[in-house]
Amino acid sequence: MTTPKNVDEYIDGFPEEVQKRLKKIRSLITKAAPKAKESISYGMPGYKLDGVLVYFAAYKNHIGFYPMPSALENFKKEVSEYKSAKGSVQFPHDKPLPTTLISHMVKLRVAENKLKAAAKKK
């Protein structure tokens, strides 16, 4: 598989049911961080606003969501029902997407990056 040029091309490379899930995550991210810049980085969709916010990627059995370790730590209880690692969480295709959790993690990342950007300006 060649590296997609943009997020639309990335999403189009998956079966229809997976595309629906990817589009939903994309929508949640853009609503929670409307000023974020969208790109393909590391071969997957990524979002930046005052630094990296989140990434996501589709796999055979799940969607990988990469909100950085701080978001997973802040939402440890909510993430506990999913397979996760230091900076990632897996949302299985056979379960509904945790839309509220995804939105909250993105909003947390926006706030964290704004604080870091403000601190750098001082």
The rounded percent of the chain whose pLDDT value lies above 70 is 99
16-67: per-residue pLDDT in tens?
999 999 999 999 999 999 999 999 999 999 999 999 999 999 999 999 999 9
| 3-state class (DSSP) for residue 119 | helix
Residues 58-116 pLDDT 10s: 999 999 999 999 999 999 999 999 999 999 999 999 999 999 999 999 999 999 999 99
Q: Look at residues 51, 92, 98, 45 and name the one whose alpha carbon lies nearest to residue 72.
A: 98
As a whole number of angstroms, the distance between CA 110 and CA 97 comes to 21
Amino acid 1: pLDDT: 56
Domains of the chain in sequence order: 7-121 (3.90.1150.200)
